[in-house]
Amino acid sequence: MNTAIASRYTAEYQTIASSLPGQTLPWLRALRAEALAQFAEQGFPSPREEEWRYTNVSGIEKKLFAPSADITVGDINTDWLKSYQIENAWVLVLVNGHFSAEFSVLTDLPEAVSVMSMADALAKQPAQVEKYLGLAASQSEHGFIAFNTAWFSDGLFVHVPSKLVLDRPIQLLHIVTGDDAMATTRNIIIADEMAEAKVIETFVGNDSAYLTASVTEVFVGQNADLTLYKMQSESEKAYHFGGSYIKQARDARFTHHNFAFGGLLARSDIHADLDHASECELNGLYLGIKRQHIDNHTRINHLKPYAISRELYKGVLDDRARGVFQGRVIVAIDAQKTDSQMNNRNLLLSDDAEADTKPQLEIYADDVKCGHGVTVGQLDEKSIFYLQSRCVDEETARNMLTFAFANEMVDKVKIRGLHDMILEQLLTRFPQEGVNKEWL
């Protein structure tokens, strides 16, 4: 931890505090003050902390990223923006951490669904925000959550009421423009009892150095079904922290698809708390090239009996990239009949690429079914030889096997527009000779 850096940010905080949303609410001012004090004491996480042992964020400390002012319509390339908007979806756009009504698309959204900026939610229904803010993401967990709680400039509030089934996804599109910019957003997503919804988080930016620090708190009601997608395709110079913290009620179903492609240094936290007979599925694909560092940290807490969790993360690493997977499943003493499986598979395309993987099972109950598996390796030479025997040249054979390995995760995405966007990101990062989009 670097408290000198923390003090720089803390001193800068005083210049923006009055402009942050919800400053008229005593409970939020108290929460921000507590988070600021926590951050001033802890600073950003350090490799000395076990949960951050593979990831050094000191690069962030070399700059003083600053919140950016609202962006006008003329400052954004609209064609570029539209290329990241999912067709047939309700789209909420955040530019440099501020909600943009001009770019958002909410036509035909059912009246019963509450979708608004966090600033509007704090103004119009502060009691509802107070009920959920900080309930799933504890700012004592690490410095980034405390930092986000104190600094968040805006965010999105999504509430799907009981028994409502949304027929199209909601996209939260985060955009950052400008050097040394900082986008700090807080999002709350609620699916009440027996509701069904799909939410897509997309993080993109221009070719500059900036910091994204986003925290999303998710609440899945009894018998509700929520699927959350995240595609992170930040600038190659950017720093990204994105945390998703989920609380599931009895019989709730939650699925998360995490695609990490961009950023110089990127970290994703996905932490889920499972109630009685709830189900949780976590899928992930991370692609690292050049000198990228991509870290994925998952934690599934089985708190009650009969819950089921499934987890599969895959990494493809080339050049001098480094991929990190830390997966942790905790089975509480009362969580009998738990059924949990976790797998992490890594493909190294270069002798200089590195994969660090640390699966953990903490089991305090005695009647459970739990397991995990890990692989780190290169392409199977026998498979390459087999393809060559079928008149495929060696380079094309390697490309086919690489894309087949990654495509298993892409195929899990059933939203066509998002599937194609992810596929395009995959091909952009590995534009190798002999690969045809039609294969995938």
Helix H, strand E, coil C: the string for the chain is CCHHHHHHHHHHHHHHHHHCCCCCCHHHHHHHHHHHHHHHHHCCCCCCCHHHCCCCCHHHHCCCCEECCCCCHHHCCHHHHHCCCCCCCEEEEEECCEEEEEEEECCCCCCCCEEEEHHHHHHHCHHHHHHHCCCCCCCCCCHHHHHHHHHCCECEEEEECCCCECCCCEEEEEEECCCCEEEEEEEEEEECCCCEEEEEEEEEECCCCEEEEEEEEEEECCCCEEEEEEEEECCCCCEEEEEEEEEECCCCEEEEEEEECCCCEEEEEEEEEECCCCEEEEEEEEEECCCCEEEEEEEEEECCCCCEEEEEEEEEECCCCEEEEEEEEEECCCCCCCEEEEEEEEEECCCCCEEEEEEEEEECCCCCEEEEEEEEECCCHHHHHHHHCCCCCHHHHHHHHHHHHHHHHHCCCCCHHHHHHHHHHHHHHCCCCCCCHHHC
Output the six-digit token pair for 38. 């926590």
Full residue range of the structural domain in which residue 255 is found: 3-275
pLDDT single digits (tens) 283-332:
999 999 999 999 999 999 999 999 999 999 999 999 999 999 999 999 99
Q: Are residues 19 and 142 in the same domain?
A: yes
336 in a domain, yes or no?
no
Q: Which of 275, 293, 316 is the last residue of a domain?
A: 275
Residue 271 and residue 393 in one domain? no
Residue pLDDT, tens place only, 121-180: 999 999 999 999 999 999 889 999 999 999 999 999 999 999 999 999 999 999 998 888
Percent pLDDT > 90 in the chain is: 75
> How many structural domains does the chain have?
2
Confidence category of residue 433, pLDDT binned at 50, 70, 90: low
- Domain membership of residue 201 (yes or no) is yes
Q: What is the pLDDT of residues 343-369, one digit of tens each?
A: 999 999 999 999 999 999 999 999 999
Per the domain annotation, does 346 fall within a domain? no
**CA-angle at 114, arms to 69 and 188, nearest 5°:** 60
Evaluate whether residue 311 is within a structural domain. no
Domain boundary among 253, 275, 297: 275
Name residue 181's beta-bridge partners. 66, 210
Domain boundary among 236, 252, 275: 275
pLDDT tens readout for residues 71-126 = 555 567 888 989 999 999 999 999 999 999 999 999 999 999 999 999 999 999 99
Residues 70, 178 contacting (CB under 8 angstroms): no
* Residue 367 domain flag: no
Same-domain pairing of 269 and 386: no
Nearest Cα to Cα of residue 315 among 255, 369, 240, 260: 260
Question: pTM for this one?
Answer: 0.94
The answer as to whether 70 is a domain residue is yes
The pLDDT value given to residue 386: 63
Q: Same domain for 392 and 260?
A: no
Note whether residue 141 is domain-resident. Answer: yes
For residue 262, the cross-strand partners are none
Tell whether 87 is covered by a domain. yes
Rounded to the nearest 10 degrees, how much is the dihedral formed by the CA atoms of 328, 130, 38, 59? 60
